[in-house]
């Protein structure tokens, strides 16, 4: 990591291949809350900033970062995979000398679950917002037009244009690599408590997807809040207050001792 003079400065974690992960960190007490964003979302989103503001007021330790090929982090978008994003999340966890609470939104929920499986001794709680585990296979691929699927299979990629996300490539590599990280085909053994906030009106990740996740989670307490009228963003003032209190509760319930750095 690079040094910084204050909590508001961007810092960077250098990965073994020379790529860098950009992050911002707030000093505080207790387990570090780590924000893990969604697909093509950077760390400047509404929910990430709301949690950072709460961290500064409430004295939390907090970190938000950009995935590989997102935001200020480096990387070629066409080389991005679920496995790469998982490895980078684990690297962020490993950079912190203490327990962590993972807060994952949409794709970030999938990455949070994978990271919790990889580092069970470090992760003491998860808060998931409209989690999109297995989305490449269960949600995205079936939602593509037939000509888009054919182009991916034939040419190795296709470019899609999506409102709010712009134009970007979807690669066969991403879809094929993701098959090795599927979670919903069997039990998910996570001992840490999991709190899921799911919008009933989410048109991107249907609420039934969260129900299936709850059925697969084994080993720890699981709470699911189905939010009437809630969309995929869950970023209204009420939604943000609910998220902050969910994270506060998860931090407070953590009883595990800090790891030595």
Q: What is the pLDDT of residue 2?
A: 38
Full DSSP string of the chain: ----SSTTS-EEEE-TTS-EEEEEEE--EEEEEEEE--TT--TTSHHHHHHHHHHHHHTEEEEEEPPTTSTTS---GGG--HHHHHHHHHHHHHTSSS-EEEEEETHHHHHHHHHHHH-TTTEEEEEEES--TTHIIIIIHHHS-HHHHHHHHHHSEEEEEETTTEEEEEEHHHHHHHGGG--TTS-EE--S-EEEEEETT-SSS-HHHHHHHHHHEESS-EEEEEETT--SS--SHHHHHHHHHHHHHHHHH--PPPPP-
Q: What is the pLDDT of residue 162?
A: 87
Q: Which CATH number applies to 11-133+187-253: 3.20.20.70, 3.30.1330.10, 3.40.50.1820, 3.40.630.10?
A: 3.40.50.1820
Q: What is the pLDDT of residue 5?
A: 37
Tokens of 145: 């037009």
Per residue in 7-22, pLDDT tens? 568 999 999 999 999 9
> What is the average pLDDT across 223-242?
98
Provide the percentage of residues in the chain whose pLDDT is more than 90: 91
- Mean pLDDT across the chain: 94
Q: Which of 66, 88, 134, 202 is catalytic?
A: 202
209 is catalytic: no
Q: What is the pLDDT of residue 229?
A: 97
Q: Which residue has the higher pLDDT, 199 or 3?
A: 199
- Which residue is associated with the tokens 């929910």? 47
Helix (H, G, I), strand (E, B) or coil at 31: strand
Q: Which of 67, 70, 209, 232 is catalytic?
A: 232
> What is the average pLDDT across 244-250?
98
Confidence at 112, pLDDT banded by 50, 70, 90 = very high
Q: What is the pLDDT of residue 165?
A: 82
> What is the average pLDDT across 147-152?
98
Q: What is the pLDDT of residue 56?
A: 98
Per residue in 29-53, pLDDT tens? 999 999 999 999 999 999 999 999 9
The rounded distance, in Å, linking the Cα atoms of 205 and 199 is 9
Q: What is residue 190's DSSP assignment?
A: -
Provide the percentage of residues in the chain whose pLDDT is more than 70: 94
232 is catalytic: yes
Residue 246 has pLDDT above 60, yes or no: yes
> What is the average pLDDT across 158-176?
93
> What is the average pLDDT across 90-107?
97
Q: Which of 41, 67, 106, 239 is catalytic?
A: 106
Residue 156 has pLDDT above 70, yes or no: yes
């Amino acid at each position: 990591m690079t040094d910084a003079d204050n909590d508001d400065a961007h810092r960077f974690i250098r990965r073994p291949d020379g790529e860098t992960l950009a992050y911002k960190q707030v000093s505080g007490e207790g387990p570090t809350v780590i924000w893990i964003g969604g697909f093509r979302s950077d760390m400047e989103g509404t929910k990430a900033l709301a949690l950072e503001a709460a961290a500064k007021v409430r004295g939390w330790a907090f970190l938000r970062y950009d995935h590989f090929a997102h935001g200020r982090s480096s990387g070629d978008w066409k080389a991005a995979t679920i496995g790469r994003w998982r490895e980078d999340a684990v690297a962020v966890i490993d950079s912190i000398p203490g327990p962590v609470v993972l807060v994952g939104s949409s794709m970030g929920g999938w990455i949070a679950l994978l990271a919790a499986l990889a580092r069970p001794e470090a992760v003491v709680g998860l808060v998931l917002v409209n989690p999109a585990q297995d989305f490449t296979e269960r949600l995205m691929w079936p939602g593509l037009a037939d000509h888009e699927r054919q182009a991916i299979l034939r040419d190795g990629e296709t470019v899609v244009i999506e409102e709010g996300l712009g134009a970007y490539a979807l690669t066969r590599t991403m879809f094929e690599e993701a098959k090795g990280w599927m979670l919903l085909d069997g039990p998910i053994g996570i001992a840490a408590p999991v709190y899921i906030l799911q919008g009933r009106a989410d048109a991107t990740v249907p609420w039934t997807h969260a129900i299936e996740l709850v059925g697969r989670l084994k080993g720890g307490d699981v709470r699911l809040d189905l939010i009437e009228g809630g969309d995929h963003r869950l970023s209204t003032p009420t939604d943000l207050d609910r998220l902050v209190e969910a994270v506060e509760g998860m931090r407070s319930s953590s009883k595990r001792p800090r790891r030595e750095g």
